[in-house]
Chain A
Amino acid sequence: MSGNGAVWGRVRGRLRAFPEHLAACGAEAAAYGRCVQASTAPGGRLTKDLCAQEFEALRSCFAAAAKKTLRGGL
């Protein structure tokens, strides 16, 4: 943290809102988590973008929740 920490404070403020947005996307998060967990079972192999679809769904839901709060809040 240099100077008055304004930038850092802003970034952290956004980061602190993450859990809220994530809570709004419980179903998508669970789907993604299940997909990754399935790959840890014996015989499964976790490779890059194995669960890309589920993650895209989670990400769009998350971005929507973030946008909503941005417009709704303030």
Chain B
Amino acid sequence: MKKFSLIAMGFVLLVGLLTGCGGNANSTKGNDTEPVNKGEGNSGASVTIKMAISGSEQEQKLRYETADLFMKDHPNIKIEWVDIGNERYQKTLTLISGGNPPDILYINDWTLPLATRGVLMPLDDFIKEDHSFNLDEFYPSIIDAYKLDGKLYGLPQDLSPTVIYYNKDLFDQANLPYPADDWTQDDFITAAKKLTNPAKKQYGFILSTWNTEYDGWMLRNGASLFTPDLKKSAVDSPEALKALQLLKQIVVDDHVSPNPAEIQAMGQYDYALFRNRQLAMFSSGLWQLPGFKAEPLPFKWDVVRMPKQVNQATKAGVLSWSIHKDTKHPKEAWEVLKFFVGHEGMKLVAKYSMALPASDVKEANQIIIDSKFPVNVKAFVDSAPLVNMEEFRHPKWSELSVAINEQLDRMLIGNQSPEDTQKNMFAKMNEIMAE
């Protein structure tokens, strides 16, 4: 019977493949359960540290290279990657809840939410005892964002402050001088208006919906999201209202930037619009540089710091590592973490030029400045000390963020006045913070 033999073959195949699959399982199991490995030629017991990894294949390459360098120096420690992909929250939470967390976590804005829940190990003791490590090299404003009740729970490796990318050709066409790093908010508005041309579907600027760019505008206008003790919202300040009015002016009144719904509907990212000459300026971090290098933009361009108002604060993309409190090898985990955020690790970050090193290591930052891509790449380095990630400090940030964005959206679509937006935002935030 033909059919019968076919099914039989299927079964054989099934069994064969299943056993193959079991083989795989065993080989990995050997690696991740017990540290007592056979130690291929290495003297001494070897320890495996599981470390979370995420991001593009390029970003991962940087981590691999750092790890290889580390393992060369520390033959007794093996780094094993746990890829958390781009659904980071989902996988991280599942790993933690499921009782299978990596020793070193990749969490960034989730540091405080997890620290509050007792998932992380404070790093202060390590730092105190380890004289080879200097916390002063890190930017205080960022380190503060990883502290809960005076204890430090994370250390940043990559920092990517947002600056303004601008199209020089469009500035030339509009007879505008190129912006300088000390330009003001008024200069920015004037330029954005002149660079907007509805007939050509050209926008002067795009108010980014990425992360908390809006908070950058608030900070520079002297406002802030929370009261210093983090107990209440601080968006009821006159400064916050001024900032909201500014955002409304940019998006609704002057319409030099598309509104959030239009951005979503366009289906084009800011970097795509910029490349397409439909956008004269946009704010973004260093992560645009590899793409702009691989496929050059068809015009002259440069970067400049965010325009100054009360101050010149800015937001950033930050990558940070933390240690899980249940790790069986805290000492080794610290060694790994220290290496990644230390000088060697930071120099590699600079070499890849996808972000700045998150500490003020001169030799690493010099690599970025020397790259001269773009000409004013120094703007990133100069912005770094003024990065303010206040939102990282609140354990309920992700929920607050959704509430804030909803109110902002209403205003920027033109359905709500800045005054009402401020009122609703303040009430919503306090409601969530009081829970």
A binds B: no
Residues of chain A touching chain B, judged by Cβ–Cβ distance below 8 Å, are: none
